[in-house]
Amino acid sequence: MRDIVSKHRILRLASFAVAGGTGFIVDASVLTLLMKFTPMGPFSARVFAIAAAMFTTWMINRNITFGKSGRHVVKEGARYGFVALMGAGLNYAIYSGLLLAAPGLFPPLAALVIAVAVVTVFSYLGYSRFVFNRA
């Protein structure tokens, strides 16, 4: 029984990683395309890119990683958006905090890796317990 639980957990974590990686690709692609083919700058284009990435990861997490929550899709989406926006804010705060608190100690890439690692744990717990727990 323990092997089944472990395999299920590993598959869920792998699926969550794929969802995050796919979201990153969507985010970067939409940002690049909007900046190249529209008059949008990096800040306004980023809003649409983030929205597209959030929608993409929600669909993957909803249909593959966690399964539907049993809540109405609008309520589930609002909960997902809440956790995702909290995660984005937390990510930026950790990244900025590391760079400002210890200038020269953390290169931007190292601060990014640390922020993403912390927020990945936060997001997984938020999605699995607040968004996709069975209603």
- Average pLDDT across each block of 10 residues of the chain; the chain has 135 residues. List them in order: 75 95 92 95 89 95 94 95 94 91 87 91 95 82
Q: What's the rounded Cα separation, in Å, for the pair 28 and 20? A: 12
- Say what percent of the chain tops pLDDT 70: 96
Q: What's the rounded Cα separation, in Å, for the pair 34 and 46? A: 9
Question: What pLDDT score does 104 carry?
Answer: 86
| This prediction's pTM | 0.83
Is the distance from CB of 56 to CB of 26 less than 8 angstroms? yes
Q: What angle do CA 100, 103, 105 make, to 5 degrees?
A: 125
Tens digits of per-residue pLDDT, 56-69? 999 999 999 999 99
Tens digits of per-residue pLDDT, 21-31? 999 999 999 99
| Closest C-alpha among 50, 45, 58, 56 to residue 127 | 58
Q: What's the rounded Cα separation, in Å, for the pair 135 and 132? A: 8
**How far lies 75's CA from each of 80, 81, 131, in Å?**
9, 10, 9
